[in-house]
Amino acid sequence: MSLIEIKDLHVSVDGKEILKGIDLNMDGGEIHAIMGPNGTGKSTLSYVLAGKDGYEITQGSVLFDGKNLLDMEADERARAGVFLAFQYPMEIPGVATATFLKTALNAKRREQGLDEIDAMDFLNLIKSKTKELEIPYEMIKRPLNVGFSGGEKKRAEVLQMSLLEPRFAILDETDSGLDIDALKVVSDGVNALRSPDRAFLIITHYQRLLSYIVPDHVHVLVGGRIVESGDKTLAELLEAEGYARFEESEAA
Amino acid sequence: MTAVKTITATAFGDTYANAVGALPGANESWIDGLRKTSRALLGTQGVPGPKTEAWKYTSLNQIAKTPFIPASTADDVDVPLLPVTVPLLDGALKIVFVNGVYRSDLSDKLEDLGAGITLSPFADVLKSSPGSLKDVLGAVMEPAQSFTAAMNTGFMEQGTVLHLSNGAKLEQPIQILSIGASGSSPGAFHPRFEIVLEEGAQATVVECHVGLPGQAYLSNAATEIILGERAALRHYTIVSEDSDAFHLGRTAVSVEQNAQYESFVLSLGGHLVRREVQVRLEGDGAATTVDGAYGLSGNQHSDVFSEILHLAPDTESKQTVKGVLGGDSRGVFQGRIHVARTAQRTDGRQLHKALLLNRGPEVDCKPELEIYADDVQCAHGATTGEMNPEHIFYLLSRGIDEKTARALLVEGFLDDVILNVADEPVRNLILDLVKTWLARQRILSIGEL
Ligand SMILES: Nc1ncnc2c1ncn2[C@@H]1O[C@H](COP(=O)(O)OP(=O)(O)O)[C@@H](O)[C@H]1O
Ligand SMILES: [Mg+2]
């Protein structure tokens, strides 16, 4: 049994079918990349997996560790180990980043039957994580994502991921808005989390990220379907050729 | 019309006035005159109803129908100690009133505040040196402009006078605590706080209005503030009245050249709370921040009534008021920015944001700009809405359960404006009060949090 089993997943928004039958199996330790042009359903897939409201699942199933993921609320999924690094992280005025991080971490600890984290331990943990990701420590005192630059928001997402240690992490265009140095730092952060019982689904437009986070499998998503899968060389091919040939076949 | 007369008569007319009796300073003709003029206004104008623009959204019916007695005359109220529920600011000098009566036994010593600084009970000043208030009392708190001011001025009895001479700096914040408590009859009290900062003086004043459970009471407070050139006052008001209480409070401020008035009003308790503020930016370069936050549940009613008058060039005003409304509560925000013809290069900003926790609450918001100068920057805005589902999802996606997520977002919504409070200890006190309020809403399981 794979860690994640997506079978024939069909999803509609406002009566319009966006995902038209996705099949994808992922094992622990694997990194899968999904590439595709804009508007083809990549973020939709990530939201459906994370449990956002407003998506109608008309067909298919998703198993996570053998359990029916689609039956779980978003917060239950997160506590069970699903994590989505958002393409556009929300700015939340008035909620201090530190408060948010601590609340999230403690929610997970409670689920695992652990006590709430000690205040000092928490600060030390955040100190070391922010250092690793080259995030200014002061940032955690600011309201969540408010006034963060695009790059800072993406690093903050990776910081959250690293804190919550998910078993299934989805990164939705985490590379967009990052310069090459930031890209390297973020990739190091992700690579540091690679482990045999953790799977990553990396959504990206560009091959660039995949030369730092090397995927085991690459899938091409066009028009709500995975139209081709391969190894990392597929990403290189796409970078050189673009999506034109898939889009043509989609239209046909 | 007859109904209105009866209402005035029973509430604040002859019966009430007779019971109040002789007030301090009554033998000074100008003070007596001020009180009489104010009471006459109450009589002739009656209790304002919905046809009065300023009272369009807030009904005084309940207050008018309640047969209040002067709270200071109640003989069945005993508050021997400071109630534990009173929010205390660490390190502040406390001056305490119970039902409008100064309680030296519960207050700190009002001495040794520093050179050029005096803090005195209002009644003492009215009796022993009324002349010192001649240019102050009623200078900005004009009874004709507001029912709240008229009622307070008509019956003002006790309170404080804080005076700082040129250049004086008050190191220790002053905390005024006004505690309401009714016995078998509902009581009304009208505390009066006078604050005068001469040139370059600086002070921090925290005004807390709290109460004990029991019969309804009416707290009708007025704070009159005069800031000389380059003076700076931080003035924070916390209204956490008992859930059955009525609060009609007004702050009127005059701000001279390059002086600064920073204020914040937190309003959480009370059955009906109306906070009025009028800031007159009288001198070039005068600046003010008039922020606030309120939280309402059940059938609470809150009314923020604000007038910012830009009367000189290069003046600046900033106002952000945020409210969270649950239950069947009602929130009102009426804000007016007035820019006089001479007040060129005015910068005036006003924002009211209300967060509705369910379908029950109602918000009435009326921002008004009145601009007679041509070179100004003014902006106002108002939003009323429910919690952003994208925000909720973001927190859920991190494993935070929905109840906690909503509570965090509500707290964050208010904290966002509370973070503007410049004084750190006061800011922390206000943040704590909001946290406690939220926790109580959750325990009471108001449902929507
Ligand atoms: N909430 C929504 N309401 C309506 N249409 C949506 C919504 N979310 C996505 N879509 C549509 O679904 C399609 C796929 O969007 P998305 O998943 O964001 O694509 P991608 O991430 O691949 O760029 C687009 O046509 C988009 O307009
Ligand atoms: Mg997308």
Q: What DSSP assignment string belongs to A208-249? A: GGGGTS--SEEEEEETTEEEEEE-HHHHHHHHHH-SHHHHHH
Distance from C-alpha of B189 to C-alpha of B100, rounded to nearest angstrom:
5
Tell me the CA–centroid distance for residue B75 and ligand 1, in Å. 70
Residue A46 Cβ inside 6 Å of ligand 1? The answer reads no
Domain with B50, as residue range(s), is 7-282
Tell me which DSSP letter residue B428 carries: H
The distance of Cα B178 from the centroid of its chain, to the nearest Å, equals 12
Residue B373 included in any domain:
no
Give the pLDDT of residue B216.
94
- Does the CA dihedral A47-A48-A53-A58 come out positive or negative? positive
Residue B130 included in any domain:
yes
Tell me which DSSP letter residue B169 carries: B
Mean pLDDT of chain B: 93
The predicted-structure confidence for B256-279, as pLDDT tens digits, reads as follows 999 999 999 999 989 999 999 999
Q: Which residue of A has its CA nearest to B404?
A: A103
Q: Where are the domains of chain A?
A: 4-251
> Quick one: angle between helices A150-164 and A180-193, nearest 10?
10
The predicted-structure confidence for B199-248, as pLDDT tens digits, reads as follows 999 999 999 999 999 899 999 999 999 999 999 999 999 999 999 999 99
Least confident of A41-45, B4-8, B32-36: B4-8
Region B402-428: mean pLDDT is: 95
Region B281-303: mean pLDDT is: 97
Residue A233 Cβ inside 6 Å of ligand 1? The answer reads no
Q: Which of A35, A38, A43 to probe ligand 1 with, by most ligand atoms within 8 A of CB? A: A43
Specify the number of domains making up chain B: 1
Residues with a beta carbon under 5 angstroms from ion ligand 2: A 42-43, 87
| CB pair distance less than 8 Å for A79 and B399 | yes
Architecture of the domain spanning A4-251 = 3-Layer(aba) Sandwich (3.40)
Give the pLDDT of residue B441.
82
| A contacts of B295 (beta carbons < 8 Å) | none
Give the pLDDT of residue B391.
96
Could you give the C-alpha distances from A87 to A43, A155, A167, A202, in angstroms and in order? 8, 12, 19, 11
| CB pair distance less than 8 Å for A50 and B397 | yes
Decide if pLDDT at A207 tops 90: no
Which ligand neighbours the alpha carbon of A34 most closely? 1
The predicted-structure confidence for A113-156, as pLDDT tens digits, reads as follows 999 999 999 999 999 999 988 899 999 999 999 999 888 999 99
Residue B365 included in any domain:
no
Residue B265 included in any domain:
yes
Nearest protein Cα to ligand 1, atom 2: A13
**B300 and B332 in contact (C-beta within 8 Å)?**
no
B397, B413, B415 ranked by CB distance to A78: nearest: B397
The predicted-structure confidence for B66-125, as pLDDT tens digits, reads as follows 889 999 988 889 899 999 889 999 999 999 999 999 999 999 999 889 999 999 999 999
The complex's ipTM works out to 0.96
- CA dihedral of residues B337, B342, B345, B348 (deg, nearest 10): -10
Residue B213 included in any domain:
yes
Residue B212 included in any domain:
yes
Decide if pLDDT at A35 tops 80: yes
Mean pLDDT of chain A: 94
Give the pLDDT of residue A252.
44
